[in-house]
Structure 1
Amino acid sequence: MDPLVLGALVAVTTILVLFSGVSVAIGLLIVSAGFLIVFDGMRSLELMPEILFGKLDNFALLSIPMFIIMGSSIASTRAGADLYEALERWLTRVPGGLVVSNLGACALFSAMSGSSPATCAAIGKMGIPEMRKRGYPDGVAAGSIAAGGTLGILIPPSVTMIVYGIATETSIGRLFLAGVFPGLMLVALFMAWSIYATWRAGDAAVLTPTDYSWRQKFEILPRVLPFFFIILGVLYAMYGGIATPSETAAVGALLCLLIAIVIYRMWHPRALWVVLRDSTRESVMILFIIAAAGVFSYMLSSLFITQSIAEWIGTLDVNRWVLMGAINVFLIIAGFFLPPVAVILMAAPILLPIITTAGFDPIWFAVVLTINMEIGLISPPVGLNLYVINGIAPDISLRTILTGSLPYVACMLLAIVLLCLFPGIATWLPDMVMGAAL
């Protein structure tokens, strides 16, 4: 069978298997084993265990459970509420200051925790009722939190970037740096839209600031500044050549646990057990998907599907930006139905040779891909953040939450366009800090 036709058959079969409700990792293994047996014989299965476990034989993978423990220890405390309250006190005189505070809190908390649902829950539980009480439109209140929660997979340290780095064998340090300015750009776009939407609403309650004394502004800082110092310390150790990403993640996880114990008095063994248990579950899930994706990539390569697609793309007389547009449409649609980690691990082996053949930077592409995954988190039918917000504020209809999120989807699409026009937004910082890529 022609490899291109076989590739289309693999794509359709994979989608059908995953839509059946089976877990992503098991689904990838089923599809891989099935096609290897049919087109390469039973003997090809002998290599599957070696590939499955060999994919996990990577020191960089240690950073995943460490960063997850780091985020879980933060998410299990009142750090989100304190962060929100601190920003509200300092930004109260900014027009639409409360929604700006919520977006800032979402950006910082999602960067620290790396979890979109945890960010929506932690910031939304306080932020949404407070914004509604002060007259902010329901769509702005719900949509801003849903969109703000997506920022954690772009702003470093990001587990999604680690997964992309491992899947494509690119520098995790470069990927972290590449996400800094695009992440700040998205925060700025979100805030600009929120201020405009607030101003358009024109409600006096929204525009009237709450006065806080200097004492009130400073008294909450000791509860949130330690987390900032940990994030800065992790990034400094990583880019200062002091330690590897895995080593800095381990130190960061330990420090976050210590701060949670000292500042938030989380010293009961049961609370610590919950953090470690939940972190282990999430880590095993991600690592299992990585291992299964390794087998899936082996199947694609063994049947010459990846090579044939890359060769076919190379022969097309198509403008490379038309090609990139088609790839973005594919990623957005995939993100509607699958979690970011699954999309990256499934798509990277196929897309990487295509984008490199077309002359695109794989580091730059990682940022574009991640923003596409952010869109999927606030888009139906699976948009996870929409349902988290609906659970926090059940009296706000899902339709209102979705409508409120759509302007932020437009902001993300605008960010992708800006990255295409000015790729240096993503590539300048890594090139400056780590030198130009070869």
Structure 2
Amino acid sequence: MDPLLIGLLVSLATIFVLFSGVSVAVGLLLVAAGFLLIFDGTRSLMMIPEVYFADLNSFTMLSIPMFIIMGAAIASTKAGADLFEAFERWMTRVPGGLVVSNLGACALFSAMSGSSPATCAAIGKMGIPEMRKRGYSEEIAAGSIAAGGTLGILIPPSVTMIVYGIATETSIGRLFLAGVLPGIMLVAFFMIWTIYSAWRSGTLYNLSQRRYSLAERLEIMPRVLPFLLIIGGVLYIMYGGVATPSETAAVGALLAIIMAMIIYKMWQPRVLWTVFRDSTKEAVMIMFIIAAAGVFAYMMSSLFITQTIAQWISELDVNRWVLMGIINVFLLFAGFFLPPVAVILMTAPILMPILLAAEFDPYWFAVILTINMEIGLITPPIGLNLYVINSIAPDISLKKILVGSLPYVLCMVTAIIVLCFFPGIATWLPTAVMGPAN
């Protein structure tokens, strides 16, 4: 049978299985095993255990649970509330400052925790009631937090970037650096829209009556700065060549736990157990998907589906940017239904040869892909952040949360367009710090 036809059957079967409610990892394994059995016989099934465990046999994989523990330790404390309070005290007299403060707190907390849901919950619990109290619309209040939470998968350290690095065999350090300037740009876009939206609704100058003294502004900083220093230290150690990503992640996780115990008195064994338990669950889930995606990729390659698709696309007589537009539409659609990790692991084996043949930079594309995945976090039907916001502010309807989030989707689309015109925004910093890529 023609490999392209088999590929179409694989796509339909995968969509059906995933929409049946089966977990992503189990669904990928079922589809891979089924098609290998049908088209390659029982002998190929003997390779599944070897392929499965081979994809997990990597020292770099250790960075995933370590960064997850680091984020969980921070997310289990009141660091989010303190970040919000710090921004609010410093920016209370700035026009639209409260919403801008929320976005700044989201950016920093998401970078520390690496979790979009945790960011939405931590910042939203305080930020949304305060914004509504001061006259900001429910749409602005909910939408800004939902969008701000997505920044965690772009601003380093990012588990999504680690998964991309493992799947494409690219440098994790370079990927982290590639996300820095685009992340800052996206935060700026969010803030610009927020200020404009507040001005349009007449709440731009609805300032807090509370005036904070310099002493009050400085008072909260000792509770926030240690965690920021940990993030800065992790990035410095990694980019400075002092340690590998896995070693750096382990040290960062240990320091984050120590800081949480010292600053927020997180001594109770029950709390520590919760951090390790939840981190283990999340890490195992991600690794299960990685291993299953490895088997799925093996099936695609064994049946010559990947190679045939790559060859077919490379032979299309279309402009490389038209090709990139098609890929972006595909990624947007996939992000509507699947989590970022699953999308990366399923598409990377197919897309990477095509991208390299079209002379696109893989680190630049990592940023483009990640922003596409951010859009999926605030758009239905999955839209995880929308449901998190609805759970912490149940009196705000999902419709209002979605309406408030849509302008930020346009900000992300704008960021993708800007990066297409100016790819150096993503590629300049990795080259400047680590030299040209091999």
Q: State whether TM-score is above 0.5.
A: yes
User: The residue matched to 1:179 in structure 2 has which SS?
Assistant: helix
TM-score calculated relative to the size of structure 1: 0.99
1:125 maps to what in 2? 125
Structure 1 unaligned spans of 5+: none
| Counterpart in the other structure of 1:252 | 252
Partner of 1:333: 333
Normalising by the residue count of structure 2, what TM-score does the alignment of the two structures yield?
0.99
Structure 2 residue 218 is matched with structure 1 residue 218: yes
List gaps (5 residues or longer) in structure 2: none
Query: What's 2:163 paired with?
Result: 163
On the 8 A contact 2:96/2:205 being kept in 1, the answer is no
In the alignment, which residue of structure 1 is the partner of 2:136? Answer: 136
What secondary structure sits across from 1:206 in the alignment? Answer: coil
Amino acid corresponding to residue 48 of structure 1 in structure 2: I
2:324 partner amino acid = M
Q: Secondary structure at the match of 2:22?
A: coil
- Alpha carbons 1:134, 1:205 under 8 Å: kept: no
Aligned match of 1:79 = 79
CA shift in 2, pair 1:204/1:53, >3 Å: closer
Which amino acid counterpart does residue 354 of structure 1 have in structure 2?
I
Counterpart in the other structure of 2:101: 101
Deviation at 1:37, TM superposition (A): 0.3
How far did 1:235 drift? 0.5
Q: Please report how far the alpha carbon of residue 205 of structure 1 lies from its aligned counterpart in structure 2 after TM superposition.
A: 6.6
Further displaced range: 204-213 or 191-200: 204-213
* Alignment check: 8 A CA contact 1:155 1:180 kept: yes
Q: What is the identity, as a one-letter code, of the residue corresponding to 2:424?
A: G
Within the alignment, does 1:52 sit opposite 2:67 as a pair? no
Number of paired residues?
A: 438
Q: Which amino acid aligns with 2:391?
A: G
Tell me the amino acid that sits aligned with residue 182 of structure 1: P
Matched-pair contact (CA < 8 Å) for 1:266–1:272:
yes
Match of 1:403 in 2: 403
The AA in structure 2 aligned to 1:179 is G
Amino acid at match of 2:375: I
What CA distance in whole angstroms lies between the structure 2 residues aligned with 1:356 and 1:229? 37
Query: Could you tell me whether the CA contact under 8 Å between 2:143 and 2:402 is conserved in 1?
Result: yes
Q: Which amino acid aligns with 2:415?
A: A
Given that residues 237 and 243 in structure 1 are in contact (C-alpha distance below 8 angstroms), is that contact kept between their aligned partners in structure 2? yes
Task: Tell me the alpha carbon deviations over residues 66-87 of structure 1, each in whole angstroms, 9 at most, x when there is no partner.
Answer: 0000000000000000011001
Which consecutive aligned stretches of 4+ in structure 1 deviate over 3 angstroms post-superposition? 207-210
Q: Which whole-Å CA distance do the structure 1 matches of 2:437 and 2:264 have between them?
A: 43
Q: Partner residue of 1:25?
A: 25
1:285-321 superposed Cα distances (whole Å, 9 cap, x missing partner): 0000000010001001100111111111111101111
User: Could you give the per-residue CA deviations for residues 44-73 of structure 1, whole angstroms, max 9, x where no partner exists?
Assistant: 010100110110000000000000000000
CA distance in 2, matches of 1:375, 1:306: 26
Tell me the distance in 2 between the aligned counterparts of 1:231 and 1:170: 22
Counting aligned pairs with the same residue, the percent is 75
Question: 1:207: how far off?
Answer: 3.9
Tell me how far apart the structure 2 counterparts of residues 126 and 178 of structure 1 sit (CA, whole Å): 31
Between the aligned partners of 1:196 and 1:117, the Cα distance in structure 2 is 26
Residue 148 of structure 2: aligned partner: 148
Taking the aligned partners of 2:366 and 2:430, their CA distance within structure 1 comes to 13
Secondary structure of 2:355 counterpart? helix
Q: Tell me if structure 2 keeps the 8 A contact 1:310–1:357.
A: no
Query: Structure 1 residues 199 and 207, CA, compared in 2 at 3 Å: closer, same or farther?
Result: farther
Take 2:276 and 2:437, find their aligned partners in 1: how far apart are those partners?
38
1:393 match: 393
Tell me, in whole angstroms, the C-alpha distance in 2 between the residues paired with 1:325 and 1:388: 31
**How many angstroms does 1:5 deviate by?**
1.3
| Offset of residue 338 of structure 1 | 0.6
Q: How big is each residue's C-alpha offset from its partner over 1:349-404, in whole Å with a ceiling of 9 and x where there is no partner?
A: 11111111111111110000000000000001110000110111111111110000
| RMSD over aligned Cα atoms | 0.9
